[in-house]
Structure 1
Amino acid sequence: MCGIAGIYQPKGIEIEEVITLSQTIKHRGPDDEGFFLASPEQVQHCRGNDTISELQSLKHLSEINYSPNLALVHRRLSILDISALGHQPLTTADERYTIVFNGEVYNFKEIRQELEQKGYGFKSHSDTEVIINAFAEWGKNCVSQFVGMWAFVIYDNQENTLTLSRDRFGIKPLYLFKNENCFAFASEIKALLKLKAVDKSISNENLGSYLAFGTTAKPYQNLFENIVDVEPGCNYQFYLEDFSLTKESYFSIDEKVANNKADIETNIQNFEELFNDSIALHLRSDVEIGSCLSGGLDSSAIVYSASKQLKDVPLKTITAAYQNKIIDESEYAKMVANDLKNVKDIYTYPDAKTLVADMDKMIYAQDLPIGSTSIFAQWEVMKCAGQNNIKVLLDGQGADEVLGGYYNFAGIHLIELLKKFQFNRFFKEYQQLKNNFTPQIKNAVLRAAYYYLPSSLQKQLRAKERLSYNFINPNKVNELQLVIPKRGGKTYYEHVDLSVKFGMYELLRYEDRNSMAFSIESRVPFLDHRLVEFIRALPNEQKIHKGWTKYVLRKMLNDKLDDKVVWRKDKKGFVTPQQDWKNELMKKLTEELKDSEIPSIMDRSYVLQLCDKDFSNASHLSEFWRAYSVIKWYNIYNLKG
């Protein structure tokens, strides 16, 4: 896990800006630092102040007395082959290709064996060297063979191109900026904002959409006008000579998969084999691995499989716990840990005072505003992991979106039964879901039915139910002509795909930034693409069965973990006592907001009114926190507009 960045400017690059790029993303890779510089006359690998001692023979960046037009920057968090042989940027033996890479390609050993049979030699035991040789052999199509998470950029000095690639789901981040004089990329937006050439303008359309709906109108967008998310599942090609940029998709969640017609028992067995294989790959590391453990189904499954595969090797788990028993899940986490001999469970207790103390640091780390205080619970988990010297942490991100663990999936499933005129089954499963999933199943159906309404009616209903339109100055609402993002689908499969593109994509950003703020590599085994594709092909009735969501996962864990964990009915997720915290902090929050600059499209008086409101609606409370975080973000990054 690392941080990468780079600049191409035909008229030359200031070395100070290259140093600034590296220092800005140092938290992503405190173990090593490397630079690659190129100009028409020469190419050179350089060291910086944080380069490992074994490579002090490299020329220091400060000693460069010419102006390169291309610079590649790498910050290393050493996980695989922690020796000097894993140093980046890495150039091939023939000096044609140079790579900077962030992430893990977990099946690198298998790919390496294939490349060795083709005559390739290897000096290290890193996945980076496998990636660059795979690229030399198969070109950009090599990514179709990778199981993992990645963002990499490869410079080809023969074709004079930069190839940018991002993993299938956007687990690892990559952003770019391009104008007529500068092309730049980085793992985090904050690094790009440090460059003089980068336009830092906010997109009022995207910010307005975020305030009103909690997301941008289209997936894979951020709140800046000219800083672009490299899209998941895509390879980009930048041509240095004419400054052109092309994009090619190698994977799309929209692609249809063949229906799996196997019986449920067979599929439970197949699911277990794929899941355990994913865990085995995600356990490949040369440093200690731990895991998040919320007490929920997803993290419990990961901890169980990992602990069994590690056998006698200790596995530390981190749990966010609360004194408020209504939201606390630590008793379930304790059940899981007590059943597994090699698990050492550790607990952290997020509170309001720490939230205030860390809010600025957390939002700075995130690059963008945060949706709710649940991100702070994850922040505290990552902080605790760092304090306990855990360098790699497994987490359950993606399971709810792919397996259908959220309320809307249950509602859509029931509506699909009605559409097929299966009325008896509808009433039976409605009651089962009410008993086993949520007493509020009627609301789940109504929320799913919302996506069948015309967009104009959706907007009217949303305006009545939500606060968020009111955050925007009235004179700006009509000017922006906001379109409701299509976050939910009319079918189960469509809803999965949109949940992956919108909600999960945002959660993956939280995951990456929170973990990397503490120099921790976070791994998400549920997003092994082989497992995702298998789950997507399952019939709905094998995901929601007899009123139980995530049925194949529950059946896999049956008789392995306590029934109170496996057959839980009170799904919570990363919840926090937002109402308690708001009440405790309101005086300070109000003072902050009164003294803060706010984006011109926001209505300051309305936000201040909400400071005195005692929210009974959880959605309204989350909207308040979202608006508060927008204002904090705006001031932390000293933005204008």
Structure 2
Amino acid sequence: MCRITGFWDLNYKQNYPLQDTLVAMRDSLQHGGPDSAGDYVNKELALGLGHRRLSILDLSPAGKQPMFLEEWVLVFNGEIYNFVEIRKKLELEGCQFATGTDTEVILKAFKTWGKKMVHEFRGFFAFVIFNQRTETLTVCRDRIGVKPLFWYWKDGLFMFASELKAFHEHPVFNKTINQQAVSLYLQQGYIPYPHCIFQHAHKLPAGAYLELDKQQAVKIEKYWDVQEVYANSSVRTDSEADLEAELEQVLTESFELRMVADVPVGAFLSGGIDSSIVTALLQKKQGRQLKTFTIGFHEEEYNEAKQAKAVAKHLGTEHHELYCTEQDFEQVIPLLPEMYDEPFGDSSGIPTYLVAKMAREQVKVGLSSDGGDEIFGGYTKYEVTQNFYPKIKRIPSFVRAMLKGGSGLVNPLWLERNSSKLPVLKNYKNISNKFPKLVNALGAKDTLDFFNISSTYIAQKDLKRLHRPYQNRYETNLSIADKRLISYLGMVDIDTYLEGDIMTKVDRATMAVALEGREPFLDHKIIEFAMQLPDDLKIKGKDTKYLLRKILYKHVPKELIERPKQGFSIPIQKWLLSSLKEPLLSIKSDQDFFNTFQLESKEVQQIIDNFVQQRTYINPHFIWFLYTLHQWYNRWIK
């Protein structure tokens, strides 16, 4: 894994130095590629490609980038896990290889097969290829959007980068804010593709190519789309036992591919279903102990370390754990605007950074088990949408409005404190976060609207008072297929939350410490298989991720796993009311901040006051979004 950046100024006016600008852009990404650096500059075309390397495969200088082949120049971030298999196919077509890298395989595959080569790839990647003869630039991003790829286009200047911070090193970069992206951020705490916080910058969609030529024609085309996968899939009618056996084979093969490396590999282990099944299937196949890593909290309500340690002991891994204090977390907070150089409000980025930092002391590759919830039906909101919305939509609208008004009087913090005494709530975590979403969703007009509302942190009417340029969270023309509601909801999350939040979190946190974070579940073969599963093999009764559980319990005792879903939760409300209270209150008097993001100052001031004085319930996650947006503004705009 590496970091890449570059530009092509088709309207260059000799107004800045090409080489110095490229080097500044490239080296702003040094944290993600500390092992070496390279660049290519074509002064005649005012074009440059830059690369920072984190050596994982073929550690010799032969893997240096940019890499050249005849008229082609390549910079590449990521890994092609099945590159050995592809290399053999290319050798049968007459190709010869001088290195042991997947980078060379990409170049020779492009020469041999053109853009269709990407259908052979299994991995995560973002790469840029420049053809010096035809003077065309080809940019590509992996199917799921695991690896980031930003691009910028204004007045003939095209730029690309793994992280936005590289653009700030270009003297012509325009920082006009994209207000639609601000709307999305305030709703959910992240900005999904193709949107970007800057008006003239974008994220290349997952599973897409971008092409640019000298005529300044920018063309984007998808080569893989999770919506198409859903639309073209049908429910398998095989027996449950046969589907279980086949899924275990698909998982094992995909997980093993993620072990390809010339450096040590380890795994993050929380003791939950996803990380435990990755660890179990890999440990079963490994000839040596797999290294596993967990961070723990001294506050029991946030601590998963005990369960992770028990799972690790059962599987026989070489387990490492680190207990973190509140001071450990607070020391990370000032780093967040630099690490996440686009507004990012997922507070679990803090523990993710800490576990990555711990793992980097012993390994150079870390396996993070994200995607299992989206692919196999693991989120509470899927269960709620499936079980409650059909009942809600039968209630007359005026009755729903009354229920919504009455429920709005219930303090979610009271529910959180008393959930263990209420039978309907005792098996759920984070009630204070989930209950207001459910209340807002009472007014939903259809299933997708219900799901979108339950995925946001502020009601639409409240957001419109706060920030007027409103942007809908997600829209699709796809209808919900019979027995495939859970797959449909997972498709929505793969297209939004997984790429925009989870992949952003893991990529930035791991690359900040020069650790390659790999995602065993995010193989397109796993997703394509799972899209064919009926809903009752994803959620059955009270069991989410039903088929995954069945496979896991063959390797790990059920009693070591069964507990309410927790995740990387941290006490942000406590921090915002104590150590972060002063910087939070400072937002109220920052008129330039309000103007930059077109926020209604009186509304923001009232929300902050209500939160700090505990007059009424304000979702602390939304306050965290405001806080991190302000911190980002101070670092990158002010």
TM-score range, shorter chain: 0.7 to 0.9
Match of 1:72 among 49, 56, 65: 49
Match of 1:176 among 115, 138, 151: 151
| Match in the other structure for 1:361 | 335
Cα contact 1:348–1:380 (8 A) shared by 2: no
| Match in the other structure for 2:186 | 211
Q: In 1, distance between residues paired with 2:76 and 2:452?
A: 46
Show CA shifts across 1:59-95 (max 9, x none): xxxxxxxxx6111101000000111111111011xx2
| 1:335, distance to aligned residue in structure 2 (A) | 0.8
Show CA shifts across 1:86-130 (max 9, x none): 1111011xx211110000110001000000111100011111111
Match of 1:141 among 105, 116, 131: 116
Show CA shifts across 1:383-434 (max 9, x none): 2222x23210001111111111111211333369889x9xxxxxxxxxxx97
Q: In 1, distance between residues paired with 2:425 and 2:46?
A: 64
Which segment drifts farther, 585-594 or 275-284? 585-594
| Match in the other structure for 2:362 | 389
| 1:212, distance to aligned residue in structure 2 (A) | 3.9
| 1:362, distance to aligned residue in structure 2 (A) | 1.8
Q: In 2, distance between residues paired with 1:154 and 1:345?
A: 41
| Match in the other structure for 2:583 | 589
Over 3 Å counting, the alpha-carbon distance change for 1:451 and 1:23 in structure 2 is farther
Cα contact 1:91–1:98 (8 A) shared by 2: yes
Amino acid at match of 2:226: I
Q: In 2, distance between residues paired with 1:237 and 1:615?
A: 53
Secondary structure of the residue that 2:218 maps to in structure 1?
strand
Cα contact 1:164–1:236 (8 A) shared by 2: yes
Match of 1:85 among 58, 62, 71: 62
| Match in the other structure for 1:511 | 506
Are 2:31 and 1:27 aligned?
A: yes
| Match in the other structure for 2:515 | 520
Are 2:609 and 1:609 aligned?
A: yes
Over 3 Å counting, the alpha-carbon distance change for 1:595 and 1:560 in structure 2 is same
Q: In 2, distance between residues paired with 1:357 and 1:2?
A: 26
| 1:614, distance to aligned residue in structure 2 (A) | 4.3
Q: In 1, distance between residues paired with 2:449 and 2:552?
A: 43
Show CA shifts across 1:200-257 (max 9, x none): 11112321332245455x7431211111101110011111x21111011100001121
Amino acid at match of 1:558: Y
TM-score of the two chains, using structure 1 as the length reference: 0.84
Secondary structure of the residue that 1:114 maps to in structure 2?
helix
Secondary structure of the residue that 1:393 maps to in structure 2?
strand
Show CA shifts across 1:470-510 (max 9, x none): 57775x53xx2454545999633321111111111121011
Amino acid at match of 1:8: W
Structure 1 regions of 5+ residues with no counterpart?
Answer: 41-67, 422-432
Cα contact 1:316–1:346 (8 A) shared by 2: no
Q: In 1, distance between residues paired with 2:68 and 2:523?
A: 28
Which segment drifts farther, 626-635 or 597-606? 597-606
Over 3 Å counting, the alpha-carbon distance change for 1:96 and 1:460 in structure 2 is closer
Cα RMSD over matched residues? 3.3
Over 3 Å counting, the alpha-carbon distance change for 1:73 and 1:532 in structure 2 is same
Secondary structure of the residue that 2:542 maps to in structure 1?
coil
Match of 1:115 among 78, 86, 90: 90
Are 2:489 and 1:495 aligned?
A: yes
The total of aligned residue pairs comes to 587
Are 2:250 and 1:274 aligned?
A: yes
Cα contact 1:374–1:574 (8 A) shared by 2: yes
Structure 2 regions of 5+ residues with no counterpart?
Answer: 395-422
Amino acid at match of 1:9: D
Over 3 Å counting, the alpha-carbon distance change for 1:371 and 1:525 in structure 2 is same
Q: For 1:341-380, what aligned pairs fall within 5 Å after superposition? A: 341-349=316-324, 351=326, 353-380=327-354
Secondary structure of the residue that 1:176 maps to in structure 2?
strand
Over 3 Å counting, the alpha-carbon distance change for 1:589 and 1:467 in structure 2 is farther
Q: In 2, distance between residues paired with 1:489 and 1:616?
A: 39
Show CA shifts across 1:590-620 (max 9, x none): 4654676524223252354155244996x70
| 1:587, distance to aligned residue in structure 2 (A) | 4.0
Q: In 2, distance between residues paired with 1:408 and 1:233?
A: 26
Secondary structure of the residue that 1:137 maps to in structure 2?
helix
| 1:382, distance to aligned residue in structure 2 (A) | 1.4
| 1:25, distance to aligned residue in structure 2 (A) | 0.6
| Match in the other structure for 2:137 | 162
Match of 1:101 among 72, 76, 80: 76
| 1:365, distance to aligned residue in structure 2 (A) | 1.1
Over 3 Å counting, the alpha-carbon distance change for 1:464 and 1:344 in structure 2 is closer
| 1:512, distance to aligned residue in structure 2 (A) | 0.6
| Match in the other structure for 1:38 | 42
Which segment drifts farther, 369-378 or 131-140? 369-378
Q: In 2, distance between residues paired with 1:611 and 1:446?
A: 20
Cα contact 2:510–2:517 (8 A) shared by 1: yes
Q: In 2, distance between residues paired with 1:299 and 1:409?
A: 20
